């Protein structure tokens, strides 16, 4: 079935949607994106995603193409037109189309593109196997830009080795996963995850899950950790908007939590789903 997508102010069938070859998103990756989960037809953590979008744009000297009210209206309309129950809305804002020049153009209007994807969000999670690779990305990973080639290369490397994902290592410490934030649980039951900085994306799911974990009385330590510490941890997991809390059961060949989802990851995923059902808008 052909989807309806949103491009530059209009809802159109996907095969009629067009963006200029001069669009700076295409030529320079001069663009920012967001992915909001659609859960039971409703938007999950929507305010967080819009707050991060505004921040990402601001860091690149761009503005919101439409205000948050309008964003919500567009998201809801797109979900409705595509009859999405579980899945996501992908949104991309570029600086717009202009003659190719490294200098930012003046007086051009931004490109706003949105589309939906259907995806099962609540299936049973067996756990994923990851390998570590060097983090080759740029220095502003806190901005959610569409420069996703490193993530794509990393996923291909994992696939080549028969694994599911990669954990990225810089200066001896894990930054994040190829498209998720990552955590280990120590033998004492403490959750360890890297603190926010320019080295990682401030995950919206990360913020929600850490809040829920704290409410559960779990101890959280925000600090860098090594692959060695992770391989010897009691359990590990990853979070992102469309994968929620995903157990990690193997890191560089070392099996964790007996090769099955660890109890803390499992519980946090359940709580996140439970809360999500209540808070989605």
Q: How far apart are the first and last CA of the chain?
A: 26
Residue 87 engages ligand PMP in binding (rule: CB under 6 A): no
Please give the full DSSP string across 7-66, using - where no structure is assigned: ETTEEEEGGG----TTBHHHHH--EEEEEEEEETTEESSHHHHHHHHHHHHHHTT---SS
Residue 144 among the catalytic residues: yes
CA–CA separation, 260 and 194 (whole Å): 23
CA–CA separation, 85 and 226 (whole Å): 39
Cβ at position 10, least distance to ligand PMP in Å = 26
Among 205, 246, 257, 269, binds ligand PMP (CB under 6 A): 205
Residue 179 engages ligand PMP in binding (rule: CB under 6 A): yes
**Taking Cα atoms as reference points, which of 197, 254, 260 lies closest to residue 228?**
254
Cβ at position 258, least distance to ligand PMP in Å = 26
Catalytic option among 144, 159, 190, 266: 144
The one segment of 6-14, 101-109, 228-236, 239-247 that binds ligand PMP by CB under 6 A: 239-247
Cβ at position 128, least distance to ligand PMP in Å = 15
The one segment of 79-87, 117-125, 172-180, 248-256 that binds ligand PMP by CB under 6 A: 172-180
# residues contacting ligand PMP (CB under 6 A): 13
Residue 239 engages ligand PMP in binding (rule: CB under 6 A): yes
- Which DSSP category does 258 fall into? G
Among 30, 135, 164, 176, binds ligand PMP (CB under 6 A): 176
The one segment of 62-70, 121-129, 159-167, 237-245 that binds ligand PMP by CB under 6 A: 237-245
54, 63, 91, 261 from 257: Cα distances, Å: 39, 45, 36, 7
Among 201, 227, 265, 268, binds ligand PMP (CB under 6 A): 201
CA–CA separation, 150 and 135 (whole Å): 8
3-class state of residue 260 by DSSP: coil
Catalytic residues: 144
Binding residues for ligand PMP (CB under 6 A): 35, 176, 179-181, 201, 203-206, 239-241
């Amino acid at each position: 079935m052909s989807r309806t997508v949103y491009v530059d102010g209009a809802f159109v069938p996907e095969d009629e949607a067009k963006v200029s070859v001069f669009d700076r998103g295409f030529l320079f990756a001069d663009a920012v994106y967001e992915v909001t989960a659609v859960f039971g037809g409703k938007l999950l953590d929507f305010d967080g995603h819009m707050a991060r979008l505004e921040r990402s744009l601001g860091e690149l000297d761009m503005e919101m193409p439409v205000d948050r009210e309008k964003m919500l209206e567009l998201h809801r309309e797109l979900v409705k037109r595509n009859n999405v129950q579980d899945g996501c809305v992908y949104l991309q804002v570029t600086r717009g189309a202009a003659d190719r020049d490294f200098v930012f153009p003046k007086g051009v209007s931004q490109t706003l593109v949105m589309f939906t994807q259907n995806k099962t969000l609540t299936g049973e999670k067996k756990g994923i196997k990851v390998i570590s690779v060097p983090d080759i990305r740029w220095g502003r990973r806190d901005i959610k830009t569409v420069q996703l080639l490193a993530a794509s290369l990393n996923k291909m490397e994992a696939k080549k080795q028969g694994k599911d994902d990669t954990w990225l290592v810089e200066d001896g410490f894990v930054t994040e996963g190829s498209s998720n934030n990552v955590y280990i649980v120590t033998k004492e039951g403490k959750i360890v995850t890297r603190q926010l900085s320019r080295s990682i994306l401030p995950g919206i799911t990360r913020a929600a899950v850490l809040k829920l974990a704290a409410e559960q009385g779990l101890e959280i330590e925000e600090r860098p950790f090594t692959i060695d510490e992770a391989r010897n941890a009691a359990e590990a997991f990853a979070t992102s908007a469309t994968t929620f809390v995903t157990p990690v059961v193997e890191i560089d060949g070392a099996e964790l939590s007996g090769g099955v989802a660890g109890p803390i990851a499992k519980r946090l995923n359940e709580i996140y789903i439970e809360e999500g059902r209540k808070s989605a808008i």
